[in-house]
Each structure stands twice: as structure tokens, then as C-alpha cells.
Structure 1
Amino acid sequence: MISKISEGVKISVETFYQPEYSNPVTNEFMFAYRITIENNNPFPVQLLRRHWYIFDSNAEHREVEGEGVIGVQPHINPSEKYQYVSGCNLRSEIGKMHGIYFMENSNNKKTFLVNIPAFEMIVPLKLN
């Protein structure tokens, strides 16, 4: 698991290769990732937007951005966590992602950025 704290918010990431949704013959590799967002601030926050940077080892680079995560803009109270699972498809067996969450202090409505740590997606056979 990879974790990083920025602006009082801890982001933890776990990744999982999804062989049942992958097809190596056609260079399709699917990964799931579980994100845990922990609010260590003394005020509630809301996740407004996300911006992902996705790097594939075949030299492809993509950016994905949009409102919230998995269709919601979660509110997270002090000392609480929010967790979700999403996925990423690659055209090679190795890749990396990192990004930014745009969050808002629910008390004063000021926005701030929270860094999502870089994490790798690697087909398990490549680790041997």
C-alpha cells in the first residue's frame, strides 16, 4: 500500500491486477485500485474534482479529469475515512498513475489541492 498526507488529508492506494478482465494477446490489461481518503483536519472536507495522470510503459500518456469520484462528491468529516474502488486499463503490463484531488473546506468554502501518491500497476508475472 502507498500512502501520502498533504493538506491534512491522507490518501492510501492499493492496486490489484484483474486477469479475468484482461487479454494479454490483444495487449489489454485491467487493474483495479482501492483509494482510502482520511480527513485528519479539524474541519469537514468535500472532494470536488479529480485529475489523473496515467503512464503506460509503452510510452502512452493519458490524463483524466472530472467531477468527484465514481459519480459522487463525498463529504468527509474530521477523523473519518471514505473509500472507493475504481479501475484503469493499460495497453502494456506495467504502468503508473498519480493525481490531484480538488477539495473544499466545508466550513469556509476555501478550496485546496491534495496530492494522490504515484502508484504502480504491474502484472504479477512481471515481478518474478
Structure 2
Amino acid sequence: MNVKTTDGITIRVKAFYEEGVSKPQNKYFAFSYGVEIENNSSYDVQLLSRYWIIKDSNLTIREVEGEGVIGEQPIIKPDGLHHYSSWVPLHTTVGKMAGYYKMKRLLDGSVFKAYIPEFHLVADFVNN
């Protein structure tokens, strides 16, 4: 599990290769990832948006951004957690992702970036 803390917000990410939906013969490799966002601060925060940089081993770089996560803009209370899962397709067996969430402190309306730790996407059959 990869972990990073910014301004009291701890983000944990774990990725998995999805063999059942991948089609290696078509250069389609699917990966799921689970995210846990923990609010260790003393104020409520709301996740406003996400920004991802996705890189594969062909040096292809994709940027993905949008409101919330999986259609939600959750409010996370102090000592609270928010979990979600999503997925990403690659055209190679290996890649990596990193990024940030824009978060808003509900106490004063200030917005900050909570950084997502870089994590690797590796198909199970690839030798390390």
C-alpha cells in the first residue's frame, strides 16, 4: 500500500491487476485501485475534484481531471474515512499513477491539494 499525508489528509492506495477483464492479445490491461482518504485534521473537509497523471511503459502520459470521485464530493469529518474503488486501462503491462485531490476546509472555505502517492500498475504475469 502506498501512503502520503498532506495537511492532515492521509491517502492510501492499493492497485490490482484485473486478469478477468484484461485482453493481453489486444494490448488491453485493466487495473483496479482502492483508495482510502483519512481526515486527521480537526475540521471537516470536502473532496471537490481529482487530478491524475497516468503513465505507461510506452511513455504515454494521460491526464485525467474532474469533479469528485465516482460521482461524489464526499465530506469527511475529523478522524473520518472515505473509501472508493475505481479502475484504469493501459495498453502496456506496466504503468504508474499519481495526482491530487482538491479539498475544501469547510471551516473557512480554503482550498488545498491533498497529494495522492505514486503507485505502480503491474500485470501479475510480469517478472519483477
Letter aligned with residue 79 of structure 1: D
Equivalence for 2:71:
71
1:48 partnered with 2:32:
no
Measured after TM superposition, the shift of residue 13 of structure 1 is 0.3
Deviations 1:42-100 (A, max 9, x none): 00000000000000101211000000000000000000100000000000000000001
CA distance in 1, matches of 2:17, 2:100: 23
For these two proteins, the number of residue pairs brought into alignment is 128
Measured after TM superposition, the shift of residue 125 of structure 1 is 1.2
Matches within 5 A, 1:19-98: 19-98=19-98
- With the length of structure 1 as denominator, give the TM-score of the two structures: 0.98
SS in 2 for 1:25: helix
CA distance in 1, matches of 2:109, 2:11: 21
- How many percent of aligned residue pairs carry the same amino acid? 42
Measured after TM superposition, the shift of residue 127 of structure 1 is 3.1
Q: Which has the higher helix share?
A: 1
CA distance in 2, matches of 1:44, 1:111: 12
SS in 1 for 2:25: helix
Deviations 1:19-44 (A, max 9, x none): 11100001000000000000000000
Letter aligned with residue 17 of structure 1: Y
Q: Over aligned residue pairs, what C-alpha RMSD do you find?
A: 0.7
Deviations 1:90-122 (A, max 9, x none): 000000000010000011111011100000000
SS in 2 for 1:32: strand
Q: Which runs of 4+ in 1 moved over 6 A?
A: none
Structure 1 alignment gaps of length 5 or more: none
